[in-house]
Structures are given as structure tokens and as C-alpha cells.
């Protein structure tokens, strides 16, 4: 397995983005987020997503130069048009703006319409936590999952993120509404393995852990069966209502690439507006302590708090280099004329 | 099966609460919420929960006369001490207050600490929707579920609610973090049946749909395996941080009955602060239309939007009477001296 240093990966991705039409400054930010995603183990939305993003820039499905513009300020909230600019830049802007409002008001809510794929949703949770804010954010997507009771896809897998800042390591949840991504199905299939737990229905309507059967039926499972299906619908509707933007059904009709013209919500809260740092530390460490002292299901497997495994992977990849798929890495280098 | 009219159930429960020490006015509100829960099919937190609530009043685990008091106003938020008053009254107050703030600010966030069991969490979603507000609310609880990787219980099943007002029927999601409640396991066991889908691990660590094995192991499954486990932890931490209250580990130590001194968050948003009613209708009906036109997994089973089945049950129970367990109904009547 080839491993690449953070700096080499970032500068390569940046070059590819500049060649595809982004400014130096914007390419730098986007390349950093892609590289950080790979660094943290989210390869699907890091290096592995670079080619598709470049393709979208070329096809004008993403406007490299567009910036978010303020549409309205309903009460204490702010609503922006993402103007089909790069999803990473729009989302970073929105979470930053929500945090600025939270600094003043304790609570900030910013929504975005007409934006594009934000890549790894967790990036904006980590961003807020790094700046000292509790964050909740989510996006809607095009249809890619059957709602409960259906066998055709008509809801999104709408990633949902919650983050809490913590000195010893932020606590960050980053989850899509499907039990497994199509990427996970593919990786499992290529290894000739079964999924760890059932991940969808086969064409006969039976629950299965066989990735091939699910890829065939396209019936990926919502988390918690009917619960994740309902949760996905609510996230979609609320994102569209808050941002005055499109819901999944509108995104499907527009059909401008993955997540093209999607709607997103960013909530930031200042945990120190009402608490001492000591109280915050006690709450976090009390809960993490209780987690860690639970009886393990398997003696040899640790119990992790949300985000802990990302930090572990980050440490490893910063020390050893970030693992890459050789073919993908070669192709990204060629996009960067390297 | 015995069926009881809404009015008879409500007046009976009200009498039981008055005898247990509540004022007429407070008993009326609490009895209404319990009856509405049974009316909507949430029997576990409706009539079936009356005896335990009366027991808590008698044991002073709930203070019948306590009212929430404002602790602080961090920025645009408000934080209240629930003073161990009736959870229903505290939660209704908090959601109402969040809605009042949303009326002015577009967005309102109220948190409660030191409150008691709010019974059916969905009640506060329906309440907000009835008043025209989008709502998000949740509570933490005592430990009742193993976190992912553990076989001992150390996280709550922390119900999470999202609601959207809609003329033709509100869209409301009310979900706990466990795939099934212990009540569902019991009901399934008594019928000598299996769960529709795996609901936990048995004592050998195997996923099972057998309710008895899960009741024995106490290893109920979080929705989406590791995802619901992480979601539960985040909801717990954020509720404690926002309200300056206890997290699950603190609730466990205090040990003042189910949900005694728990922490809750209530968010309300005015969907018309930034949108016309026409836009809102289009978003809701576009999504519901797309859902309904999905290809059914089973020809004979309809696809529902979140909350639709509650409305269906409500209609049926209002017309035929609310079904009751004869033994429970007899005991509640005796608490009401009937």
C-alpha cells in the first residue's frame, strides 16, 4: 500500500483544482479539506472524490468562482444563496458565520440553498469544534435510498453531524441516513466479503448482508429501518423550509449532479455562554468515563466515543502517510500535470 | 377488547391525578396529554403510564406543584430549572416558550434541567406544529442501552422529535435511539412472536429477533448499530451542556426514578418568517407526493410519511373509542375512586 504525506497530497490536489479553474486561495482551502478527509480515514470524500469534483468544475455543475450571497435575515437567522459555488467553501462560510452569530447571541443558525456537494459533512463539525462551538448541521441530497415500505429510491441519505469541542479530542458524530454507503458495499464486494450486519434488501425483499445483492436491488437500508427513513424525510424538509431552497424531490427534477442545488442547515452554539469550562469538562469527561467503563462486548475491542476513531486514524496517517489507491493517486497527479 | 371514549379516559385520569395531589388545572393538562397519547396509539406513555406517574407523585419523585423557573438567558436562548415538577407541564411550557421566541426571532431555543419524565416526546412536536412552528426537541434519560461495543447499559435511549406543521396533517417524527422499546419486547413475547427485525444481541453476542433473549441480555440495539449509539451520546451531552443540567451519567448517580432530573432541549422555528405559505405547501406536498409515488415493496402496504400513522390511529380511536388493557383500566379507575 502506497502512503503519501499530507503536504504532498494537499499540494497535488490544489494544483489539480487550479488547473480546473479555481483561484489559488480557493483551491488551497478545498484541497486542505479533501486532504483532511483522507487523513481522517474518510477516503471516499477525500482524495477519491477529487476527480469527480474536477469533472463537475469542467462541466460547470459547480461554479468555481461563485460565492454565497445573503438573501434574507429572518429574525436571528441568516439565509444565503450558495450560487452553485464549491460546496466546501459555501459550507465553511456558513458554519463560520453561524459561529460568529453564536459568539454574539449564544446561538447561530445559517441556512444555504442552491449549494453543491459539501464532500465530508463532518468537516464542518470539526471546524466548529476547533473554534470552540457546539455544532449541528445537515444537508439534503438527491434520491438514493428507498423510504420505508418502498423499493424505489425517493429519499436522500442526508448526512447529519453533531460536534462538541473538547480539549482532549472533540466529540463528533458524522452519520448518513443509510446504514452503509455504496462505497462500503463496493469495498466489501471487492474483498469478497459480507457486510458486518444486514445492509439492505435483496430483490426478493429479504434482509441481506451480501453487498452484491444490495447493489443489484439498490435497496440500501435506512438506519433503524423506518426510523432512519423518517429522519431522512424530516432533515430534507426542514433544510428546504429554512433555506427557502429545494427539497430532494426538487433536486431530483433539476438533476444537476450529485447534490446539485441542495439545501443545508448550520447551527452553532457557544457552550461557554451559560457554563464554566469546568462544568463543560465535567459533563464531557463524566460521560466518556462512563462509556469507557462499560463492560466490553468483546474483551479485545475498545469502546469509542464519537470521533475518537477519526482521531486515531489521523494520528496514524500523519505519522505513516495517508494510504492511497495507486490508480486514483496516479490519475489525480495527472490532473495536476505531475 | 374494551374501548373507552376520549372524555371518559381523560376525566378518569384527571381524577386520579387530583387525588394524588395535583391542582385541577394541572391535572387537566396532564390527563389530556396522557389521553392524547393513548388516542394516537402510544399506549405505553398514555393510560399505561398513569399508575407509575401517580406512584412518583406519592413518593415525591415528582413535585406536583413545582413550576419551571428561569435560570439564565444566554444570548437569545433561555434556560429553565424544571424544579422536578411534572415533566409534561415543564415540557409544554418550554416548547410554548420556544415558540413565543420563534414568533419574534424566527428561532427559539429553550432548555430545561432538573425536570422529570415528559412521557410521549412526540406530544411537544405535535404541540408546536399545531401552533404553526417547526420543532426539534429531545431529552436525555437514565442508562438503559449498551453503547456500541459494550454489553452493559451506560447510555440513554434519548427520544428525538422533529415536527413540521401542515394543514392536511402535521409531519412528525418521534423516535427513541433504541430499535425497540422494552414495552415492544414484552408485547411481542406475550404474543409468542418474533420481532419484525433483529432488535438486540443475545447473551452469546448474536444478533437476534427473539424478544426473550434480549430481555435476558438487556442488550437492546441502538438504531443503526454504532450510529444510534453515537447519536444518543451526542443528544445527551448537548442537552446537559445547553441546560447546565445532568447528563445520563449524573442521572444514573442521582437515581430519582425514570428520567428524574433529566435535561431537555426545545427548538422552535417559524417557517413563515422567510417563506410564503404557498412555498411551504409546495415543499411539503412535493416530498409527500414523491414518497407516495414510490414503488411499494409490498403491493398491499402503503408508504406513510412521518406522523401519518398516528393520525390514522387517532381517527379510528376517536370514532370507536380508545382500546385499553382491562386490568390497567380497572386499576386506573380505582386510583380515581371509580
How far, in Å, CA of A180 to CA of B139, rounded? 27
Task: Summarize the confidence of residues B133-150 as an average pLDDT.
Answer: 98
A179-221 architecture in CATH?
2-Layer Sandwich (3.30)
CA–CA gap between residue B141 and residue B158 (Å, rounded): 6
The highest-level CATH class for domain B180-221 is alpha beta
Task: State the average pLDDT over residues A99-116.
Answer: 98
| Integer Cα distance of A150 and A98 in angstroms | 37
In the structure, what pLDDT confidence band is assigned to residue A334 with cuts at 50, 70 and 90? very high
Confidence check: pLDDT of B41 > 90? yes
Residue B291 has pLDDT above 90, yes or no: yes
What is the C-alpha separation between B201 and B47, in angstroms, rounded? 30
Residue B154 is predicted with a pLDDT of 97
Residues of A in contact with B151 (CB under 8 A): 294-297
Rounded distance between C-alpha atoms, residue B46 and residue B329, angstroms? 11
pLDDT at A111: 98
Q: What percent of chain B has pLDDT over 70?
A: 100
**pLDDT above 90 (res B192):** yes
pLDDT over 90 at B1, yes or no: no
In this complex, is the C-beta atom of B198 within 8 Å of any C-beta atom belonging to chain A? yes
To the nearest whole Å, the CA of B82 is away from the closest chain A CA by 17
- Tell me what the mean pLDDT of segment A213-242 comes to: 98
Task: Kindly report, residue by residue over A255-312, the tens digit of the pLDDT.
Answer: 999 999 999 999 999 999 999 999 999 999 999 999 999 999 999 999 999 999 999 9
Q: Does B132 touch chain A (CB under 8 A)?
A: no
Please tell me the predicted confidence (pLDDT) of residue B231: 98
CATH annotation of B1-59+324-338? 1.10.1530.10
Architecture (CATH level 2) of domain B66-178+223-274: 2-Layer Sandwich (3.30)
Nearest to B233 among A155, A201, A287 (CB): A287
Distance CA A226, CA B24 (A): 39
Is any Cβ of chain B less than 8 angstroms from the Cβ of A293? yes
A76 by Cβ neighbours in 10 Å (0-12 / 13-18 / 19+) ranks as buried
Predicted confidence at residue B183, as pLDDT, reads: 87
* CATH architecture of the domain covering A1-59+321-338: Orthogonal Bundle (1.10)
Class of domain A68-177+224-274: alpha beta
Whole-model pTM: value is 0.98
Chain B, 6 to 65: residues with Cβ < 8 Å from chain A are none
Q: Do A207 and B197 touch (CB under 8 A)?
A: yes
Judged against a pLDDT cut of 90, whether residue B165 lies above it is answered with yes
Q: Find the mean pLDDT for residues A17-33.
A: 98
Closest to B150 in 3D by CA, of B232, B265, B43, B53: B232
* pLDDT on residue A279: 98
Distance between CA atoms of residues A218 and A203, nearest Å: 9
Range A165-196 burial, b when 16+ CB lie within 10 A, else e: bbeebbbbbbbbbbbbbbebbeebbeeeeebe
What's residue A79's pLDDT?
A: 98
Ranges of H-type helices in B220-276: 226-243, 248-254
**Average model confidence (pLDDT) across chain A:** 97
C-beta atoms of B74 and A242 within 8 A: no
Residue B251 Cα, gap to closest chain A Cα (Å): 11
CB contact A110 to B (< 8 Å)? no
Q: Is the dihedral of CA A95, A99, A105, A106 positive or negative?
A: positive
Domain residue ranges of chain B, discontinuous segments joined by +: 1-59+324-338, 66-178+223-274, 180-221
Average pLDDT value for residue range B37-66: 97
Residues in a beta bridge with B207: B201
Q: What pLDDT shows up at residue A159?
A: 98
- Cross-chain CB nearest to B154 (options A233, A247, A294): A294
Place of cell 398491499: B300
Average pLDDT, chain B: 97
Count other Cβ atoms within 10 Å, centred on residue B298: 11
Kindly report the length of chain A. 338
Average pLDDT over residues A178-186: 93
Cross-chain Cβ contact B241/A297 below 8 Å: no
- Is some CB atom of chain A closer than 8 A to the CB atom of B102? yes
Per-position b or e across A32-43, b if 16+ CB within 10 A of its CB: bbbbbbbbbbbb
The enclosing H or E element of B81 equals strand B78-81
| Chain B residue with the nearest C-alpha to that of A160 | B231
Helix (H, G, I), strand (E, B) or coil at A136: strand
Would you call B217 an interface residue with chain A, using a CB distance cutoff of 8 Å?
no
* Environment class of B337 (CB within 10 Å of its CB; exposed 0-12, middle 13-18, buried 19+): exposed
A327 Cβ neighbours under 8 A, 6+ residues apart: none
Buried b (16+ CB within 10 A) or exposed e, B159-176: bbbbbbbbeebbbbbbbb
Per-residue pLDDT tens digits for B196-242? 999 999 999 999 999 999 999 999 999 999 999 999 999 999 999 99
**Mean pLDDT across B333-337:** 97
Would residue A45 show up in a list of annotated catalytic residues for this protein?
yes
- From the candidates B34, B45, B117, B170, which is the catalytic residue? B45
pLDDT over threshold 90, residue A169:
yes
- Sheet with B134-139: list strands edge to edge: B69-72, B78-81, B107-115, B262-269, B134-139, B160-164, B171-175
What the block records as the C-alpha cell of A81 is: 444563496
Of residues A104, A228, A291, nearest to B147 (C-beta): A291
- CB-based contact, A70 to chain B, within 8 Å: no
Helix H or strand E segment including B151: none
Residues 249-278 of B with CB under 8 A from A: 249-250, 252, 269-271, 273-275
A-chain CB neighbours of B305 within 8 Å are 233
Q: Is B68 helix (H, G, I), strand (E, B) or coil?
A: coil
Give percent of chain A with pLDDT exceeding 90: 99
Cell (9 digits) for A113:
440553498
* CA atoms of B124 and B145, how far apart (whole Å): 24
Q: Are B280 and B272 in contact (CB under 8 A)?
A: yes
| Average pLDDT value for residue range B37-46 | 96
At A282 the pLDDT is 97
* Per-residue CA distances from A161 to A69, A139, A219, A266, A307 (Å): 24, 9, 24, 10, 11
- The whole-number pLDDT of residue A183 equals 87
Residue A194 has pLDDT above 90, yes or no: yes
Q: How far is A253 from chain B (nearest CA, A)?
A: 11
Q: What is the pLDDT of residue B72?
A: 97
Q: Is beta strand B107-115 parallel, antiparallel or unpaired with respect to B134-139?
A: unpaired
Across B105-118, average pLDDT: 98
A110 strand-pairing partners: A78, A266
Could you tell me how many CB contacts below 8 A there are between chain A and chain B?
258
- Taking every pair of Cα atoms in chain A, the longest distance, rounded to a whole number of angstroms, is 56
Under the banding of pLDDT at 50, 70 and 90, the label for residue A37 is very high
Find the residue in A nearest to B153 (Cα): A294
For B20-42, b where at least 16 C-beta lie within 10 A, e where not — what string?
bbbeeebbbbbbbbbbbbbbbbb
According to DSSP, the residues that pair with B269 across neighbouring strands are: B107, B134
Question: Looking at CA atoms only, how far is residue B228 from chain A in angstroms?
Answer: 8
**Nearest-angstrom CA–CA distance, A337 and A71:** 39
CB contact under 8 A, A283 and B237: yes
Amino acid at each position: 500500500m502506497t502512503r503519501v504525506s499530507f503536504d504532498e497530497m494537499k499540494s497535488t490536489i490544489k494544483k489539480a483544482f487550479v488547473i480546473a479553474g479555481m483561484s489559488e486561495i480557493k483551491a488551497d482551502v478545498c484541497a486542505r479539506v479533501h486532504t483532511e478527509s483522507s487523513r481522517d480515514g474518510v477516503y471516499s470524500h477525500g482524495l477519491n472524490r477529487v476527480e469527480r469534483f474536477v469533472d463537475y468544475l469542467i462541466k460547470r455543475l459547480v461554479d468555481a468562482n461563485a460565492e454565497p450571497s445573503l438573501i434574507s435575515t429572518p429574525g436571528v437567522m441568516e439565509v444565503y444563496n450558495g450560487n452553485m459555488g464549491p460546496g466546501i467553501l459555501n459550507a465553511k462560510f456558513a458554519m463560520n458565520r453561524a459561529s460568529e452569530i453564536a459568539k454574539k447571541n449564544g446561538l447561530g443558525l445559517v441556512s444555504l440553498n442552491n449549494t453543491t456537494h459539501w464532500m465530508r459533512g463532518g468537516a464542518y463539525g470539526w471546524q466548529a469544534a476547533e473554534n470552540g462551538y457546539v455544532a449541528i448541521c445537515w444537508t439534503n441530497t438527491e434520491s438514493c435510498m428507498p423510504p420505508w415500505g418502498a423499493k424505489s429510491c425517493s429519499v436522500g441519505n442526508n448526512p447529519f453531524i453533531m460536534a462538541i469541542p473538547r480539549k482532549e479530542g472533540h466529540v463528533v458524530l458524522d452519520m448518513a441516513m443509510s446504514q452503509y454507503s455504496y462505497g462500503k458495499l463496493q469495498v466489501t464486494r471487492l474483498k469478497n466479503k459480507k457486510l458486518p450486519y444486514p445492509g439492505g434488501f435483496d430483490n426478493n425483499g429479504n434482509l441481506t448482508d451480501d453487498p452484491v445483492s444490495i447493489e443489484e436491488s439498490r435497496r440500501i437500508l435506512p438506519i433503524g429501518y423506518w426510523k432512519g427513513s423518517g429522519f431522512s424525510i424530516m432533515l430534507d424538509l426542514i433544510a428546504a423550509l429554512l433555506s427557502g431552497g429545494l427539497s430532494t424531490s426538487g433536486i431530483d427534477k433539476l438533476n444537476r449532479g450529485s447534490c446539485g442545488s441542495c439545501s443545508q442547515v448550520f447551527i452553532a452554539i457557544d457552550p461557554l455562554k451559560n457554563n464554566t469550562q469546568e462544568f463543560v469538562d465535567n459533563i464531557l469527561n463524566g460521560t466518556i468515563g462512563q462509556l469507557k467503563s462499560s463492560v466490553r462486548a468483546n474483551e479485545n475491542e475498545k469502546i469509542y466515543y464519537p470521533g475518537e476513531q477519526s482521531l486515531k486514524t489521523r494520528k496514524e496517517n500523519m505519522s505513516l502517510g495517508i494510504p492511497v489507491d495507486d490508480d486514483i493517486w496516479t490519475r489525480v497527479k495527472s490532473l495536476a500535470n505531475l
